[in-house]
């Protein structure tokens, strides 16, 4: 059974810092991996989708990498801003098509 | 620019009452999903629909029914609500079926409390 783990559960950094959020999964047979952002009391906003054949995807200050063989993905946020404060979730789509979510990393960027 | 729209946003029920959560998407997507999000549990799939008239059970389907009457709308019904169904419910849609790995788009959520 696929399990997705995100470490750390919470992270607090000063504004301007570059940071990395981690996501690991137990079954490397995946279709893709998606990173989401969730603001308090809101839905999930898709940030980046990495297909299993890809190594990374970039959008603005965000860069997500995927290493299927080691079961790991990282989300890199450059020059963090207070507006980046949110919970970040990764989700893995496995061989049966189901999307399995991690429990998220709650990020706080201090001005 | 609506995307995925859920109603109601908030609801309080008494144990045993029934209600339906509505979801509509305007992106012409084929696949639609219902998830629940609980503290410490993450998001879990309740039901999935690949197309109009088809539905499949997810990880936690007990106590729920769904209906996909057309391509736009996917409703979730609680026939006899229980306190264990207190949760935040999210509807999502995707252009492709789940086997093809398309990107998921979520609604804002429906916060349900069962007393």
Q: Are A31 and B100 within 8 A, CB to CB?
A: yes
Q: Smallest CA–CA separation between A45 and chain B, in Å?
A: 7
If pLDDT is split at 50, 70 and 90, which confidence band does B113 have?
A: very high
For position B98, what pLDDT does the model report? 66
The answer to whether B23 touches B31, Cβ cutoff 8 Å, is no
Whether B99 has a pLDDT exceeding 80, the answer reads: no
For position A47, what pLDDT does the model report? 96
Whether B101 has a pLDDT exceeding 70, the answer reads: no
Let me know if B12 is exposed, middle or buried by CB neighbors in 10 A (0-12, 13-18, 19+).
exposed
Whether B41 has a pLDDT exceeding 90, the answer reads: no
Chain B residues inside the 8 Å CB shell of A45: 106
From B32-41, B70-79, B93-102, the region with the lowest mean pLDDT: B93-102
Q: Are A91 and B104 within 8 A, CB to CB?
A: yes
Chain A residues inside the 8 Å CB shell of B92: 44
Whether B95 has a pLDDT exceeding 90, the answer reads: no
Once rounded to an integer, what is the mean pLDDT over residues B78-88? 96
Residue of B nearest to A1 (CA): B59
CA distances from A39 to A3, A20, A103, B3, B73 (A): 24, 18, 14, 17, 25
Tens-digit pLDDT profile for chain A (111 aa)? 889 999 999 999 999 999 999 999 999 989 899 999 999 989 999 999 999 999 999 999 999 999 999 999 999 999 999 999 999 999 998 877 778 999 999 999 999
Give SS3 for B47.
strand
The answer to whether A70 touches A3, Cβ cutoff 8 Å, is no
Residue of A nearest to B40 (CA): A103
For position B96, what pLDDT does the model report? 76
Q: Are A99 and B98 within 8 A, CB to CB?
A: yes
If pLDDT is split at 50, 70 and 90, which confidence band does B100 have?
A: low
The beta-carbon neighbor of B107 closest among A43, A51, A101 is: A43
Residues 6+ apart with CB under 8 A from A48: A34, A35, A57, A58, A59, A62, A64, A75
Average pLDDT, chain B: 93
Whether B89 has a pLDDT exceeding 70, the answer reads: yes
Whether B1 has a pLDDT exceeding 80, the answer reads: no
């Amino acid at each position: 059974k696929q399990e997705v783990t995100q470490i750390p559960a919470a992270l607090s950094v000063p504004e301007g810092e570059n940071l990395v959020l981690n996501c690991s999964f137990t079954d490397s047979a995946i279709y893709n991996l998606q990173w989401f952002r969730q603001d308090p009391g809101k839905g999930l906003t898709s940030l980046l989708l990495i297909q299993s054949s890809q190594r990374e995807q970039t959008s603005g200050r965000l860069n997500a990498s995927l290493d299927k063989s080691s079961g790991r993905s990282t989300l890199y946020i450059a020059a963090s801003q207070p507006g980046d404060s949110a919970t970040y979730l990764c989700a893995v789509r496995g061989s049966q098509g189901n999307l399995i979510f991690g429990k998220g990393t709650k990020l706080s960027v201090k001005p | 620019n609506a995307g995925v729209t859920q109603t109601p946003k908030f609801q309080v029920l008494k144990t045993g009452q029934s209600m339906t959560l509505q979801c509509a998407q305007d992106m012409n997507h084929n696949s639609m999903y219902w998830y629940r999000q609980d503290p410490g549990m993450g998001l879990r799939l309740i039901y999935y629909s690949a197309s109009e008239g088809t539905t499949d059970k997810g990880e936690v389907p007990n106590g729920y029914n769904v209906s996909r009457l057309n391509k736009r709308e996917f409703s979730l019904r609680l026939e006899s609500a229980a306190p264990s169904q207190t949760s935040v419910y999210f509807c999502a849609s995707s252009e492709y079926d789940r086997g093809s790995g398309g990107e998921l788009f979520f609604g804002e959520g429906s916060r349900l409390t069962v007393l």
